[in-house]
Amino acid sequence: MQRYTKTGGEIWDMEKSQSPRMGSVILGVDGGAGNTVCVCIPAAMPFADPLPVLSRAVAGCSNHNSVGEDKARETLERVMAQALLKARRRRSNVCAVCLAVAGVNHPIDQQRMLDWLREIFPSHVKLFVENDAVAALASGTMGKLHGCVLIAGTGTIAYGFTRDGREARAAGAGPVLGDWGSAYGISAQALTAVVRAYDGRGPETALTNSILDFLGLASPDELIGWTYEDQSWARIADLLPVVVESAEAGDEVANKILHNSVGELASSVKAVVQRLELSGEDGKDHFPLVMVGKVLMANKRWDIGKEVIDCVTKTYPGAYPIHPKVEPAVGAALLAWNAVASELDGSPRTVA
């Protein structure tokens, strides 16, 4: 079962040289537009706090819509191999893998990834493929798939589940189709505002000097070359702190961008809640709203996450926010753990 990269390197060389430890393990992978994380947990673990994590590995972007399918797969395979190496385990020790990856938006995507995983792991390994939003939800509910999750990192998506397994999503279609409210969306609007101010189509903004200083550029003219020389989503999204700082300093343009982003993010959540009727017939039923991503983290004055929650709870007062104590990769591992534990009763998405 040796695997090779396009450049001829052997990904699983470590299995030849190391002396593996005993014990079955589960791999949980969270692959977003920014980076990819894989954790390895013991299959026989108790539900303890904190959860026992044997190892953790990090790699780059694994969204095939951003970097292409070959690069995404190589990144995913390498990060899984690294996690097993750190845990001193081999693929034969693995009993389940849950791959939760951005860009998995259709059953065809899932099946293609499952077929690829089957080429990597032995036949006894249980395989699960989900959108990364599902793992993010599980990270806040400790594996329970009920409620709504809002991810606002490099990209954004709202995803929800009912107790009987119905699911719905909003946004998450990528930057071309409008991931407004994401770090990319906020940053792209800031770049547009600078260009508009420079050529006279928009108001003056402190974003101009702030962004130019941050990037080490001398003139807004240079932004065009900088933007198109490398259009990776994460690179654009890295401008988020500059936009927030400008808003906190009182810049009207930056503040308008953030206020609009709050509205977009809240609208995504509301769309999912409405479609799934998570709030019940009277709109007051309680449900978890898991908040994940750097956009939703509090800053000195601007707290986008709190603003989104306030906006959502005006319409759905039963929504109660959860800021996960574990990362989405652990949520993915918990999904696999619960699925394997509940196999006997035939409900792979039911929490044991």
DSSP codes joined into one string, 220-235? THHHHHHHHH---HHH
Contact 83, 56 (CB under 8 A): yes
Task: Give residue-wise pLDDT tens across range 292-325.
Answer: 999 998 777 899 999 999 999 999 999 999 999 9
How far apart are the C-alpha atoms of 327 and 38, rounded to whole Å?
A: 10
pLDDT reading at 346 higher than 50: no
pTM here is 0.83
Burial class (CB in 10 A: 0-12, 13-18, 19+), 108: exposed
Helix ranges, the chain (H): 14-17, 64-67, 69-86, 107-120, 132-141, 183-199, 207-215, 221-229, 233-237, 240-248, 252-276, 304-315, 328-341
User: Which domains can be identified in the chain, with CATH numbers?
Assistant: 9-130+326-344 (3.30.420.40), 146-317 (3.30.420.40)
How far apart are the C-alpha atoms of 195 and 155, rounded to whole Å?
A: 23
Task: Give residue-wise pLDDT tens across range 158-189.
Answer: 999 999 999 999 998 887 887 889 999 999 99
SS3 label, residue 263: helix
Where do we find the tokens 């279609």? 173
Task: Give residue-wise pLDDT tens across range 108-149.
Answer: 889 999 999 999 999 999 999 998 899 999 999 988 899 999
Cis before 52 (ω within 30): no
Task: Give residue-wise pLDDT tens across range 216-227.
Answer: 999 999 999 999
DSSP state for residue 11 in the 8-state scheme:
T
